[in-house]
Amino acid sequence: MDKKQTLKHYFGYDDFRDLQEEAIDTIVSKRDMLMILPTGGGKSLCYQLPTLMMEGVTVVVSPLLSLMYDQVTSLQANGIEAAMVSSMQSFEEIKSIEQQVIRGEIKMLYVAPERMDSSYFISLLHRAKINFFVIDEAHCLSQWGHEFRQSYRKLSILKEQFPRIPIAAFTATATQMVRADIINELRLDKPNIIVGSIFRSNLFITIKHRIGDGKAQLLEFLKLYKGQSGIIYTLSRKSTESVAAYLSQKGYKARAYHAGLSNEERGRIHNEFIQDRLDMVVATVAFGMGIDKPNIRFVVHLHLPRNLESYYQEIGRAGRDGNLSQTLLLFTTADLIQQRLFIDDLEAGEYKRNAYAKLQSISTFATSTSCRHQSISHYFKESLVPCMERCDNCLSYKNQTIDITTPAQKILSAIYRTKQSFGANYVVDILKGSKSKKIVQNAHDKLSVYDIGKEYSKSGWLTIVDKLLEFGAVAINDKRVYILTEMGKKILQGKQSVAIDEERLKVTFETQVVDDNGVFEEDTQRILDRLSKLRNTIATQNSIPAYIVFSQKTLAQMAMELPTTKEAMLNIHGVGEVKYERYGEAFIEEIRAIKNAKGIVGSG
């Protein structure tokens, strides 16, 4: 079969996405390659399809067991011989897989990078017929990346031991520095470098100042997503537990996920989420790398991430199916201070300086009034026009500014009168007339600036503080408190004005929500529900995630076209020969039953 026939037979697709064909041709021609393609762009197919057109086995190096498991399960469901070797398997299981590899019975073998440090395993690979190596999540290899892993540094052994076997490296994010590091460390030979656009048009980005612990804002946001899948990221194990418990009390099916849980518990939570038995996972950033769940509708960050690479990779876990998805980041300046503390503990040197620069970049991004997508693209050295309707800034900011010199003077005066010794929340609480124990004990309820800030909400005042920080009117000293700058003193003395975009003080969540199915008539939605129920039953019987049976996009097309013959079913996106042989007849029978009950005429 040629590549188009292979695409249809195994994967059920009629056409390639952008850049996929170039990547496949590069691999088949046995050239080294580095591909940088955003999450949801179809990277996996770029190396899964070529091995079906070549003799031998493809060895895929992947950083997480959950990622390997998802990929192997999906490949097997498509009729492709795939296996993984991991520490979670028994000695007998591993031996059996190794013999299959040597006999040429496996097309794709997934392993962790640590496996390449084993002389025994390297010896095994020398006995197998390998067509090419894949390095997935290749950014983990670079010390300048956001998820550096020492185990990845040892992958240079591949070119030492197998100099004639090509390597295809893949990642969703890589700055110019990281790209150069990947090529150098893997010793790629004149690689074809394929770079996809950073812009994810189906992601809507919202960033707001966090009020308190952010739980109330989170709950308001989640009203849009009852019963849908999402990931919520926090900074600590403790906060994952707290937020998950809070959401459970509010009626959401939520679980905490962090490194303190046992492997078994983490695996159980992962499987429940993949199989749609959980609405959401509240996690540290350890969760989600490479997670192959297409219907994640939202990603929320309750704290400022440490850099833009991490943020972009994490929000990319939403909307892999191409449907509109939401991302929300809640932050305060305290997050910036906490992240700085982490960096302060690093050993002095270029890596530490780079970490500070990355933190400053995401801080500027969070407080900027520019297009969010454009800002991300510029960070990765890509040119992009403003998205116009896919971020809070473009949707809400109309470049109409208002003078905030008077409220700015109130803030600056409060900072000065509290002897420049406190953080933003405390200063704003004074303006808002808080009767907190600390304010009363410090006698700050007696200050002239106490209770003079009724015109804005606390969130509004904190937005003004951020503007003053951007404007250079205040700074944060080495004690992590706010102090006045020369610019701030000029504003306080009436010698300098300051303005802000009017809409910035009242940005609300974008409420244009599109569900997995797009827009359906009521009858079509009911049909989709029946097909989804059948899919869940089949998935449970086969102990696989529901989306591996058929994607939501595939079910949606079935619900609209109602195919009742093999030919009509094979014209549905995502239905190939293998999937049809396994599941197609069951869906045809269900559709026929629906038609008979309703007297509907469909597509064959």
Token output for 292: 């192959």
Name the range with the highest mean pLDDT among 134-148, 259-273, 404-418, 464-478: 404-418
CATH numbers and ranges of domains, the chain: 3-195 (3.40.50.300), 203-395 (3.40.50.300), 401-506 (1.10.10.10), 522-598 (1.10.150.80)
Cβ–Cβ < 8 Å for 210, 234: no
Higher pLDDT, 298 or 475: 298
DSSP of 291-322? ---TTEEEEEESS--SSHHHHHHHHTTS-TTS
Q: What is the pTM of this model?
A: 0.71
Residue 600's pLDDT is: 55
- Least confident segment among 20-34, 70-84, 382-396: 382-396
Mean pLDDT across the stretch 75-85? 93
Bridge partners, 108 (sequence order):
58, 82
Residue 507's pLDDT is: 44
Tokens 């996009």 map to which residue? 553
Q: Is the pLDDT of residue 382 over 80?
A: yes
Q: Could you report the per-residue pLDDT of 96-140, keeping only the tens digit for each?
A: 999 999 999 999 999 999 999 899 999 999 999 999 999 998 988
Triad 343, 347, 349: Cα angle to 5°: 95
Q: Is the pLDDT of residue 509 over 60?
A: no
Residue 599's pLDDT is: 56
Q: Is the pLDDT of residue 519 over 70?
A: no
Confidence of residue 320 (pLDDT cuts 50, 70, 90): confident
Residue 526's pLDDT is: 82
Mean pLDDT over each residue of the chain, to the nearest integer: 87
Mean pLDDT across the stretch 542-556? 86
Bridge partners, 193 (sequence order):
34
CA 169 → CA 32, 192, 584, distances in Å? 8, 10, 35
SS (H, E, C) 245-297: HHHHHCCCCEEEECCCCCHHHHHHHHHHHHCCCCCEEEECCCCCCCCCCCCEE
Burial (0-12, 13-18, 19+ Cβ within 10 Å), 91: exposed
Mean pLDDT across the stretch 68-88? 89
pLDDT > 90 in the chain, percent = 51
Q: Are strands 203-209 and 474-476 parallel, antiparallel or unpaired?
A: unpaired
Residue 161's pLDDT is: 96
Q: Is the pLDDT of residue 513 over 60?
A: no
Burial (0-12, 13-18, 19+ Cβ within 10 Å), 18: exposed
Token output for 303: 């704290």
What order do you get walking across the sheet with 108-111 strand by strand?
Answer: 82-85, 108-111, 57-61, 130-135, 167-171, 33-36, 192-195
Using CA atoms of 314, 320, 326, 330 in order, give the dihedral in degrees to the nearest 10: -10
SS (H, E, C) 408-430: HHHHHHHHHHCCCCCCHHHHHHH
Mean pLDDT across the stretch 331-359? 83
Residues 6+ apart with CB under 8 A from 245: 256
Count CA within 13 A, CB hemisphere, residue 261.
21
417: nearest Cα among 388, 446, 438, 437: 446
Residue 340's pLDDT is: 82
Cβ–Cβ < 8 Å for 33, 26: yes
Confidence of residue 321 (pLDDT cuts 50, 70, 90): confident
Cβ–Cβ < 8 Å for 363, 304: yes
Triad 293, 297, 302: Cα angle to 5°: 105
